[in-house]
Amino acid sequence: MRSTWHSATIVETRAETPHSVRMTLAVPTWPGSEPGSHLDVRLTAPDGYQASRSYSVASSSPWGHVVLAIDELPDGEVSPFLVNEARPGDTLEVHGPLGSYFVWRPGQNDRPVQLIAGGSGVVPLYAMAVAHDLAEDTTPFQLLYSVRTPADAFFAAELTELAGPSFQVTHVYTRQAPTGWPGTVGRLTRDTLAASTIPPSERPRVYVCGSTGFAETVATWLLDLGHSTTDILTERFGGL
Amino acid sequence: MPNHLDGNALAGVLSDVFTMDVTAARGRCGSCGRTAPVAEAMVYPDAPGLVARCASCDHVLVVVVTAGERLVLSLAGLDAIDLRV
């Protein structure tokens, strides 16, 4: 699938979490994309200055709509505009689909898949879970999702809906848990990681997406636990 | 800790150069010989352009600088790229 620049029109924006927006784009020339891939959004200021950033594709269909979920980075050059200023009818330049490394393809193999996300890092993993469901793939999927509070979870309703015999979701709440939450509140630890993910003996393919600090900490722990470096795929989106 | 990304972030700019996605291709570091997907390199976006370094030895593998319509690419730090993986 050759990637190229496309003109996109914002169809809908709505709050995804208190600091992020779910944005639906109409992209008539979009060829479709593999679960986990991303695109670059380029903004051009009136004086010609350009800035572009990568965003994972939450869902897309060929010649149709592309859905993104964009978290606002307070010092960002692109995300504050997309989250706070962009409105339906506005046009954006997007480049994609991009990336063939951090993707999951239905039927690729029958090894279990462990997804591990921090915050907005769940977006490409959500795309994989949707594809897994649509393909009626019976490969065991598990998601471990670390968020600050329940309100900060992306695609919360959709992930609950997708959960079932072949897709299990476990949350880690780092600041505040839902009422009646039986677990502890706090940062993900190596022990929690070991207890809530598919063990290395089952040779899962592990997809990790989050801030740079989150992704690198988790990847290091996975190696400590005995996962092979070639089974761990990471995508960092910056920050600490 | 310097703010860095990873080789996934090179997909856009390198797709302007290569006819296929390069981030899943395996590159061999010209310094330490580590062979790994380009996506696993450490990418520093705060330099003028993007600088990709080997995740093992920090050797500079790829530098991409764009300025207006110009794109300058250096792959001098890579011994080889295996594209059909």
* Of A114, A113, A105, A30, residue with least CA distance to A68: A30
Pick from A101, A238, A240: CB nearest B37: A101
Confidence of residue A240 (pLDDT cuts 50, 70, 90): low
**Test mutation, B16, B19, B21, chain A, max A CBs within 10 A:** B21
pLDDT in tens, A90-99: 999 999 999 9
Interior angle at CA B51, CA B46 and CA B55, nearest 5: 115
* Of B78, B23, B30, B52, residue with least CA distance to A234: B23
Identify the architecture of domain A113-236 in CATH. Answer: 3-Layer(aba) Sandwich (3.40)
Residue B53 in contact with partner chain A when CB distance is under 8 A: no
Q: Which tokens in the block code for residue A130? A: 């949707």
Q: Which of A70-79, A127-136, A140-149, A152-161 has the lowest mean pLDDT?
A: A70-79
Interface TM-score (ipTM) > 0.90: yes
> What residues have CB less than 8 Å from A85, skipping those under 6 apart?
none
**What pLDDT score was predicted for residue A3?**
80
Contact (CB, 8 A) for A225 and A194 = yes
Taking the domains of chain A in order of start, what are their residue ranges?
Answer: 4-98, 113-236
CA distance B35 to B54: 9
Pick from A40, A102, A212: CB nearest B4: A212
DSSP A145-206: EEESSGGG-TTHHHHHHH-BTTEEEEEEESS-PPTT--S--S---HHHHHHHS--GGG--EE
Question: Tokens 């330049």 label which residue?
Answer: A93
Kindly report the number of other CB atoms within 10 A of residue A1's CB atom.
15
Annotation: CATH topology of A4-98: Elongation Factor Tu (Ef-tu); domain 3 (2.40.30)
Taking the domains of chain B in order of start, what are their residue ranges?
Answer: 5-82
Give the residue from chain A lying closest to B1, CA to CA.
A240
Mean pLDDT computed over A19-23: 97
DSSP code of residue A126: H
Partners of residue A96 in chain B, C-beta under 8 Å: 12
Contact (CB, 8 A) for B40 and B26 = no
